[in-house]
């Protein structure tokens, strides 16, 4: 690249960064936080209508607006997918179809016929996932006896016993407990129609499992026999314990864990247990859904979760990377809000770490029961760069809690320590979504980066670095648990290793740089399709996106690269910026459950490019100053 070309890239990057920062500053709330939309797929909206139908509170307005949104997301082949330009998903399409029937769409309408054909081709209702068939069972469209059993007596298993509720990841735990109530009650509230047109009449062909799968198949058959005549005393006690456990974990905003699955199942479970709709717990729960509802010209849709703490920490770090003064009122106001969001109460995480003092941050506005390690690391990285009253004690508490949540192998999961019992994944009930929370490279990397700044000589830092080095894939990349995918993992790990003192010339860093350069697209950007979670052929491959291009650049810049790959990546960001300062990113680059559930974080397209451009333009500035 010539000197003139380099100068043009620098000039373009400066203009792009200024414009992007202006756009980001304009998105800040008066209270000091940022929150981009957290977009998922239409199962959220379909299940919301089904929930309201089950409770008898579905309104014409909600139904019409949700129906309009669901129809707008149908693809040309008649199906619905779990992410932009992804493959057809049977269960999502079944749930969308059922919701549109609720919205009054006749089965002989063209768009309904277009959906029905692929549903039948993919195996019909019979081949849909367990959670979809649970929703159908609530309305008599699938027999309860043909679902795997999860008895509420599970509540009596002690924390040291295999398959106790604390062996499950926090999001799965909060979902499984209410489902034990629902599946024990086996309610049926008929729809004004049936879905016979979605049945093939054939049992799906399932791959024969061995080992644990076969053992759990035997266990499931035994549980079905028990379910026909459970011990009345034991069942009543188990249901009582489950209901009390659920009610005790409702958050201030009415949710459970700030996420959709445990929220809706907890509402149904409590309702079946005798809670009236005007009970304060259910009133708060149903009203709380409004806060997660977006209404616009496209209709009505629900966010599966909200991410204000995460988004705010990322925004603060991005603006600081861009050179915004640390005493800027926007940054000090954001810091004050983050300090108010600190969680200083003990919760489920203490089951595995009973002697650990609380301190940390959650993802959402109201999720005091489940602070998470990833958010805590990112908040620490943001707050330590600001000089505001009360910041140092909060950082100290956060670092202590975060360090104490290390798993036995030195890595870090998202919510719990040593939540890695793979037996949970073998149950017939678990055919959708991650159900355990083992250490991941991206979370461990964020913790390592925070500890490198705050505890540079700590044993937790050393063990975290060793964990990351051992977790590197043979091709030089790292798997990304919470973002897509190897580009995200690699983009997180390389800056963390360098911050922790690993020399940029170390073979692990060099191999990562080589992997990123090999997977740069011809247009200069980076992208990785979410199908890479299931099909290795997609690893590192996909349409270029702003967030993934920024992740790759952050890794290359941390490794000290001044290569054509960096210049071309920066040029891609400059050339694809919108006039208003942000970027278009229809592709989903966030991950809820690898292989099953994905997220389009609408702020990712802005905060990560700002960080990348800021670090590119200030790459000669010492890291501690950045």
Largest CA distance in the chain: 82
Task: Label residue 368 exposed, middle or buried (CB < 10 Å: 0-12, 13-18, 19+).
Answer: middle
Tokens describing residue 67: 């129906």
Q: Tell me the H-state helices in 27-169.
A: 43-55, 60-72, 90-102, 110-121, 130-137
Q: In whole angstroms, what is the distance from residue 176 CA to residue 429 CA? A: 9
Please report where in the chains the tokens 């997609």 appear, as a residue.
538
Three-class SS of residue 8?
helix
**∠ CA(312), CA(369), CA(350), 5° rounding?**
115
Tokens representing 298 are: 């496209």
Buried b (16+ CB within 10 A) or exposed e, 580-591: ebbbebebbbbb
Residue from 543, 546, 617 nearest 575 by CA: 546
Taken in order 600, 332, 18, 526, the sign of the CA dihedral is: negative
5-16 as b/e, with b when 16 or more CB fall inside 10 Å? eeeebeebbeeb
How far apart CA 577 and CA 320 sit, in angstroms, is: 20
Q: Is 503 a catalytic residue?
A: no
Whole-angstrom distance, CA of residue 315 vs CA of residue 487: 20
Contact between 28 and 245 under an 8 Å Cβ cutoff? The reply is no
Sequence-separated (6 or more) residues with CB below 8 Å from residue 130 = 147, 148, 428, 429, 430, 431, 432
Q: Look up tokens 């995480």; give the residue.
A: 349
H-assigned helices in 211-359 = 212-228, 232-248, 260-272, 280-288, 308-321, 329-340
> Could you say which of 62, 167, 374, 420 is catalytic?
374
Q: Say if residues 166 and 348 touch (Cβ distance below 8 Å).
A: yes
Do 449 and 499 contact (CB within 8 A), yes or no?
A: yes
Residues designated as active site: 374
């Amino acid at each position: 690249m010539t000197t003139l070309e380099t100068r043009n890239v620098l000039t373009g990057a400066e203009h792009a960064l200024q414009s992007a920062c202006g756009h980001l500053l304009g998105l800040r709330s008066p209270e000091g936080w940022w929150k981009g939309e957290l977009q998922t797929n239409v199962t959220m909206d379909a299940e919301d209508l089904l929930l309201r139908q089950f409770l008898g509170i579905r309104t014409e307005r909600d139904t019409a607006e949700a129906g309009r949104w669901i129809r707008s997301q149908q693809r040309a082949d008649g199906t619905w997918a779990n992410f932009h330009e992804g493959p057809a998903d049977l269960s999502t399409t079944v749930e969308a179809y059922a919701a549109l029937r609720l919205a009054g769409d006749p089965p002989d309408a063209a768009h309904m016929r277009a959906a029905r054909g692929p549903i039948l081709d993919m195996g019909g209702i019979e081949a849909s996932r367990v959670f979809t068939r649970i929703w159908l069972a609530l309305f008599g469209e699938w027999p309860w006896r043909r679902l795997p059993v999860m008895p509420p007596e599970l509540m009596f298993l002690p924390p040291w016993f295999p398959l106790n509720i604390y062996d499950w990841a926090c999001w799965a735990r909060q979902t499984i407990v209410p489902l034990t109530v629902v599946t024990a009650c086996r309610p049926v509230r008929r729809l004004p129609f049936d879905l016979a047109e979605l049945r093939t009449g054939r049992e799906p062909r399932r791959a024969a499992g061995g080992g644990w799968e076969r053992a759990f198949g035997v266990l499931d058959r035994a549980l079905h026999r028990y379910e026909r005549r459970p011990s009345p005393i034991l069942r009543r006690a188990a249901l009582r314990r489950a209901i009390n456990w659920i009610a005790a974990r409702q958050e201030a905003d009415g949710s459970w864990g700030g996420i959709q699955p445990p929220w809706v199942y907890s509402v149904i479970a409590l309702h079946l247990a005798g809670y009236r709709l005007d009970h304060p717990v259910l009133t708060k729960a149903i009203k709380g859904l409004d806060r997660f509802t977006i209404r616009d010209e496209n209709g009505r849709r629900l966010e599966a979760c909200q991410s204000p703490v995460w988004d705010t920490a990322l925004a603060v770090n991005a603006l600081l990377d861009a050179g915004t003064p640390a005493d800027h009122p926007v940054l000090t106001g954001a810091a004050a809000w983050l300090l108010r969001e600190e969680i200083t109460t003990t919760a489920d995480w203490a089951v595995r770490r009973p002697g650990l003092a609380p301190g940390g941050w959650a993802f959402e506005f109201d999720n005091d029961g489940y602070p998470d390690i990833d958010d805590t690391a990112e908040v620490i990285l943001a707050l330590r760069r600001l000089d505001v009253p009360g910041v140092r004690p909060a950082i100290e508490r956060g670092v202590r809690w975060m360090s104490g949540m290390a798993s036995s192998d030195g890595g870090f999961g998202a919510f719990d320590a040593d939540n890695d019992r793979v037996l949970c994944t073998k149950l017939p009930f678990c055919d959708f979504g991650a159900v355990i929370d083992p250490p991941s490279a991206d979370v461990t990397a964020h913790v390592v980066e925070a500890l490198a700044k705050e505890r540079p000589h700590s044993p937790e830092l050393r063990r975290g670095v060793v964990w990351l080095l051992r977790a590197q894939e043979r091709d030089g990349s790292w798997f990304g648990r919470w973002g897509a995918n190897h580009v995200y993992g690699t983009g997180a790990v390389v800056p963390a290793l360098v911050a922790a003192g690993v020399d940029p010339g170390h073979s692990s860093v060099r191999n990562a740089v080589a992997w990123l350069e090999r997977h740069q697209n011809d247009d200069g950007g980076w992208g990785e399709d979410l199908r890479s979670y299931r099909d290795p052929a997609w690893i590192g491959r996909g349409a270029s996106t702003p967030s993934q291009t920024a992740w790759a650049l952050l890794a290359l810049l941390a490794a000290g690269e001044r290569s054509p790959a960096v210049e071309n990546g920066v040029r891609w960001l400059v050339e694809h910026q919108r006039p208003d300062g942000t970027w278009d990113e229809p592709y989903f680059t966030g991950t809820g459950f690898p292989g099953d559930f994905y997220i389009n974080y609408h702020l990712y397209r802005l905060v990560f490019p700002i960080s990348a451009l800021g670090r590119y333009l200030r790459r000669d500035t010492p890291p501690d100053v950045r």
